[in-house]
Amino acid sequence: MKLESQSLGRFPRRDDGSVNWKGVPQGSVLESEDVGREEIERALARWMPDSDPLGLIWGSLAVPSVTVERVRMLGVLSDILETFPDFWMYAADVRVMVESSFAGNLTVARVR
């Protein structure tokens, strides 16, 4: 729960649990685009270049959140996108969160 409260819990949420990006303070969203493995890897390289480990929060509360070594995350990213495309990654050291939504959107935001 600490991982969620430090990251996802700082954003307004919709009824389905996704972040309500329209309610986020201006300047917090760093980028937003269609999601894919390459886009997530670029976002990690740009906004979380040296962050390790990364927090991984699943779109389903039935699946526990975990911290994962960066190199391991990159190694299984394609599998994650195919199995659970709805998730958040959080880098505590730089206070940046990446949202991958089931709708196919990638959003990167600064956690304030």
pLDDT at 84: 86
Give the pLDDT confidence of 7-59 residue by residue, as tens digits.
988 999 988 888 999 999 889 999 998 888 888 888 999 999 999 999 999 88
**For residues 69-94, average pLDDT:** 90
> What backbone torsions phi and psi does residue 15 show, to the nearest 5 degrees?
-60, -30
Summarize pLDDT for 66-75 with one digit per residue, the tens: 999 988 988 9
Over 90: is that where the pLDDT of 104 sits? no
Predicted confidence at residue 63, as pLDDT, reads 79
pTM of the predicted model, to two decimals? 0.86
Closest CA to 17 of 88, 98, 78, 89: 88
- Per-residue confidence (pLDDT) for residue 1, from 0 to 100: 66
Q: How many helices (H) and strands (E) does the chain have?
A: 3, 6
The domain limits of the chain are 2-20+29-110
> What pLDDT, on a 0 to 100 scale, did the predictor assign at position 99?
92
